[in-house]
Structure 1
Amino acid sequence: MIYIFTFVALTIILLGYIKIAKTLNIVDRPNNRSSHQYVTVRGGGIIFPIAAVLWYFFYGQIAPWIIVALLIIAFISFIDDIIPLKSSGRMLVHIVATTILLWQIQVFDLPWHTVILIYILTLGWINAFNFMDGINGITGIYGLVSLCTFLWLNRSINFISTELLITMIISTLVFLFFNFRRRAKTFAGDVGSVSLAFLLAWFMISLIIRTGRVEYILFFCVYGIDSVVTVLMRLAHRENIFKAHRTHLYQFLSNEYKWSHTKVALIYGLIQLTINITVILSITNNWMNFFVLLFSIIVLSAAYLIIRYKIQKAINWKYSY
Structure 2
Amino acid sequence: MTEIFWRLVPFFIAATLSYVGVMLFRRWAEQRMLDIPNERSSHTRPTPRGGGLLIVLVTFAGLWLAVVLFDLRDLLLEISAFTVGAALIAWISWLDDLRPVANRVRFGAHAIGALLILIFVGFWRVLDVPLLPSFTLGWLGLPITFLWLAGLTNAYNFMDGIDGLAGGQAVVAGLGWFALGLIVDVPLLTLMGALIAGSSLGFLGHNWPPARIFMGDVGSAFLGFTLAAVAVFGAVEDPRLAAAGVLVVWPFVFDTTFTILRRLQRRENIFAAHRSHLYQRLVIAGWSHRSVTLLYLGWAVLSVIIALLWMSAVPGSASAASIVPLLSAALLWRTVVVTERTVGQRNAV
Q: Alpha-carbon deviations, 1:71-119, whole Å to 9, x = none?
A: 1100000111111112111111100011112223222877210111111
Query: What's 1:243 paired with?
Result: 272
Query: What's 1:201 paired with?
Result: 228
Query: What's 2:252 paired with?
Result: 223
1:243 deviates by 2.4
Instruction: Pick from 31, 43, 51 the counterpart of residue 23 of structure 1.
Output: 31
**Structure 2 counterpart of 1:65, one-letter code:** A
1:154 deviates by 1.3
Instruction: Pick from 57, 60, 68 the counterpart of residue 50 of structure 1.
Output: 57
Q: Residue 83 and residue 157 in structure 1: after superposition, are their counterparts in 2 closer, same or farther (change >3 A)?
A: same
Instruction: Pick from 185, 188, 196 the counterpart of residue 168 of structure 1.
Output: 196
Does the CA contact (< 8 Å) of 2:207 and 2:214 recur in 1? Answer: yes
Does the CA contact (< 8 Å) of 1:33 and 1:245 recur in 2? Answer: yes
Query: What's 2:108 paired with?
Result: 92
Query: What's 2:139 paired with?
Result: 112
Deviates more, 1:131-140 or 1:107-116: 107-116
Instruction: Pick from 129, 145, 151 the counterpart of residue 124 of structure 1.
Output: 151
Q: Aligned partners of 2:201, 2:36: CA distance in 1, in Å?
A: 25
Q: Aligned partners of 1:137, 1:30: CA distance in 2, in Å?
A: 17
Count of residue correspondences: 313
1:298 deviates by 4.7
Query: What's 1:70 paired with?
Result: 86
1:128 deviates by 0.9
Secondary structure of 1:316's partner? helix
1:293 deviates by 5.8
**Structure 1 counterpart of 2:302, one-letter code:** T
Q: Residue 142 and residue 308 in structure 1: after superposition, are their counterparts in 2 closer, same or farther (change >3 A)?
A: same
Instruction: Pick from 183, 206, 211 the counterpart of residue 156 of structure 1.
Output: 183
Is 2:172 the counterpart of 1:145? yes
**Structure 2 counterpart of 1:203, one-letter code:** V
Q: Aligned partners of 2:331, 2:14: CA distance in 1, in Å?
A: 41
**Structure 2 counterpart of 1:121, one-letter code:** W
Q: Aligned partners of 1:99, 1:136: CA distance in 2, in Å?
A: 32
Secondary structure of 2:212's partner? coil
1:308 deviates by 2.9
Q: Aligned partners of 2:327, 2:30: CA distance in 1, in Å?
A: 45
Q: Residue 54 and residue 72 in structure 1: after superposition, are their counterparts in 2 closer, same or farther (change >3 A)?
A: same
**Structure 1 counterpart of 2:44, one-letter code:** Q
Q: Aligned partners of 1:262, 1:104: CA distance in 2, in Å?
A: 40
Q: Aligned partners of 1:16, 1:275: CA distance in 2, in Å?
A: 34
Deviates more, 1:98-107 or 1:111-120: 98-107
Identity of aligned residues (%): 27
1:193 deviates by 0.4
Q: Alpha-carbon deviations, 1:144-176, whole Å to 9, x = none?
A: 110111111211213324333322222111101
After superposition, the CA RMSD in angstroms is 2.5
Q: Residue 292 and residue 114 in structure 1: after superposition, are their counterparts in 2 closer, same or farther (change >3 A)?
A: farther
Query: What's 2:40 paired with?
Result: 33
Deviates more, 1:155-164 or 1:75-84: 155-164
1:19 deviates by 2.0
Q: Residue 207 and residue 60 in structure 1: after superposition, are their counterparts in 2 closer, same or farther (change >3 A)?
A: closer
Q: Aligned partners of 2:204, 2:236: CA distance in 1, in Å?
A: 31
Q: Aligned partners of 1:225, 1:156: CA distance in 2, in Å?
A: 26
In structure 1, runs of 5+ residues without a counterpart are: none
Once the two structures are superposed, the pairs formed by residues 160-309 of structure 1 within 5 Å of their partners are 160-182=188-210, 184-213=211-240, 214-216=242-244, 217-257=246-286, 259-283=287-311, 284-285=313-314, 287=316, 298-309=326-337
**Structure 2 counterpart of 1:310, one-letter code:** V
Does the CA contact (< 8 Å) of 1:147 and 1:168 recur in 2? Answer: yes
Does the CA contact (< 8 Å) of 2:174 and 2:195 recur in 1? Answer: no
Q: Aligned partners of 2:144, 2:81: CA distance in 1, in Å?
A: 22
Q: Residue 225 and residue 108 in structure 1: after superposition, are their counterparts in 2 closer, same or farther (change >3 A)?
A: closer
1:7 deviates by 4.4
Q: Residue 313 and residue 227 in structure 1: after superposition, are their counterparts in 2 closer, same or farther (change >3 A)?
A: same
Query: What's 2:129 paired with?
Result: none
Does the CA contact (< 8 Å) of 1:215 and 1:288 recur in 2? Answer: no
Secondary structure of 1:315's partner? helix
TM-score (norm 1): 0.88
Q: Residue 60 and residue 36 in structure 1: after superposition, are their counterparts in 2 closer, same or farther (change >3 A)?
A: same
Does the CA contact (< 8 Å) of 2:11 and 2:197 recur in 1? Answer: no
1:3 deviates by 6.3
1:179 deviates by 0.3
Does the CA contact (< 8 Å) of 1:179 and 1:185 recur in 2? Answer: yes
**Structure 1 counterpart of 2:270, one-letter code:** I
